[in-house]
A and B are shown apart, each in its own frame.
Chain A
Amino acid sequence: MKEAVGKVERVEHSKNIKKGIKNRVGEFLIENLIFVLGITSVLIIALIFMFLLRTGLRVFLDVSPKEFFLGKYWFPVSKNPQYGILPIVAGSLMVTLGAILISVPIGVGSAIFISEVAPPKTKTALKVIIEFLSAIPSVVLGFLGIVVLSNWVRISFSLTSGFTVLTGSILVSLMAMPTIISISDDAIRSLPEEYKEASLALGATKWETIRYVLIPAASSGIIAAVMLGIGRAIGETMTVMMVTGNAAQIPNSFLVSGRTMTATIAAEMGDTVRGGTHYHALFAVGIVLLSMTTVINLIADFVLSRAKREAR
């Protein structure tokens, strides 16, 4: 009897050891698998940079950096091709500037309305609608830009064509809006409740509290929101390709047509010879674009993390 119990115990024990080993091997495998998955995203970013650089930098074998960065003419398919990116950089900046001028006041105003003025139920509904705005595919907005907005712009400003920088800016502002609103709203709501209570207790009205306490305190979050909005606006492709008229000229007003960097890549990539100068030049435009959005994102991240530290 005693022996039998001992035997059972021994069997149990060796089973446990086996189970332990199996667990440990499993753990080891899983941990490494997950580690590999974890570093994949970093690899992807490294690969993106590598592929862009590898292909894009070859443009400088044929075009001098001075001509590329400071050239005023982008005529890649003319007999005497010219690869100056100033007009398309200017086009991108102009569309973005217009979009930001529209979306910042409206977006920040809406964020304050949502976080401080609207009753709770309205708040939820408004947020769902705004999120849905960000879900509308950009090609659908571009389509509406062609059939509706461009006519409106043409008639309102008595132009010959409604495909202008302004048309692009209006639509892109709609796309930057959800980013600006939701991040500003987060920034305002994450402020300590005491700020508001102290101000109200001192007899300030709700509006005075918002204006003199909450907005200044949330300002770094709001700035980060605007930066991320700018990033979205610069990177937007389809809509601007469809409605800005695509003339590679340095725009001197919002009412002329222009061409952005993103639209240049998307529109011209299909027709180029793989491995030719034009092909390399488009990748180089990609590098410029990626560098701009990276800098903007890093600044936004810096401002945001500082804001978080301040809030604590």
Chain B
Amino acid sequence: MVNQNKKNIEQKLAFSILGLAMLLVIIPTVLIIGFIIYKGIGAISIEFITAMPRRGMTQGGIFPAIVGTLYLVSGTLAVALPLGIGSAIYLTEYAKKGKVLKIVRLAILNLAGVPSVVYGLFGLGLFVLFLQFGQSIIAGALTLACLILPVIITASEEALKSVPQSYREASLALGATKWQTVRSVVLPHAMPGILTGAILGIGRAAGETAPILLTVVAFFLPRLPKSVLDQVMALPYHLYIISTQIPNMPEEIKYGTALVLLGIVSIFFIIATVIRIKFKISKKA
């Protein structure tokens, strides 16, 4: 009995320590978000979101940075989505199992672990200099697309694999061709999972700084881009610049920019989470 008591106390102690560890993760996260909202909300106004920056960015709004980020994100999406989903379909539905498939999988896995600044170097070397796009929206979007490709492929593969094999068999037995089966049976069932992965990927692209630093962004550009070969401002880089390079930057502009950036990323995150909860997709990535 005494022994049992001792064990119970030990268990309570252990669980409290584990709970404490959990709090050490949760509290900073909540504090970070709360702090940014609390400090940044005062800066948010129609003008802040829709006006050009003035006086060396110490006044006015951040409109070109918001637009630049949205351009980059849509460009990234246009490239990475078809490529990523196509790759995933090939890998799960068509590829023959064997050594080659193993190597491809390993390559994708590795691609997911490549530091973002290395993607920046790659984009600089290939798109900016070798293909002579210069520092431009297209170079930046292509670089970001390479960066989120593994995220989209992995998520889409998981989603495709979770479609029961019997669905495919039933469709093929009815005389449908393989592509008809994939298009009208497998893909619709896998769509929520694919979407979740894609949206999370885009959210990530919207917040990345290092790759666009080397391939697209301009320090200060108080006008909107005219073509895909133009430079743009972007929110993450803007936040970096105003918090490190410009002296006497008003606090509220910095917090306001951080809040807008966090807001855009959160929107993607929330949409993905809602889809996941609605379709009860398990998260594995």
Contact = CB atoms under 8 A, between A and B. Distances in A.
Interface of A: 23-24, 26-27, 30-31, 33-42, 44-45, 47-48, 51-52, 54-55, 105-110, 112-114, 117-118, 126-133, 135-144, 146-148, 174, 177, 181-182, 186, 205-208, 210-211, 228, 231-232, 234-238, 242, 262, 265-266, 269-270, 274, 282-283, 286, 289-290, 293-294, 296-298, 301
Interface in B19-43: 19-22, 24-26, 28-30, 32-33, 35-36
A296 B269 CA distance: 28
A301 B17 CA distance: 30
Given A33-B86, A133-B29, A283-B125, 19 more contacts: A37-B89, A48-B146, A52-B122, A54-B125, A55-B125, A109-B22, A110-B24, A112-B18, A127-B283, A129-B29, A135-B203, A135-B266, A140-B32, A237-B115, A237-B117, A238-B210, A293-B113, A294-B113, A297-B109
B16 to A, nearest CB: 10
Interface residues of B, number: 92
A228 B130 contact: no
Given A47-B126, A135-B269, A41 B108 contact: yes
A39 B82 CA distance: 13
B190 interface: no
B117 A140 contact: no
B179 A297 contact: no
Given A30-B179, A205-B8, A266-B214, A274 B129 contact: yes
Given A269-B124, A293-B113, A130 B25 contact: yes
Interface of B: 7-8, 10-11, 14-15, 17-22, 24-26, 28-30, 32-33, 35-36, 82-83, 86-87, 89-91, 93-95, 103-104, 106-122, 124-126, 129-130, 146, 149-150, 153, 177-180, 200, 203-204, 206-210, 213-214, 236-237, 239-240, 243-244, 251, 254, 258, 261-262, 265-266, 268-269, 273, 283-284
B7 A37 contact: no
A109 B21 contact: yes
- Closest 4 CB pairs between A and B? A235-B115, A137-B207, A109-B21, A37-B86
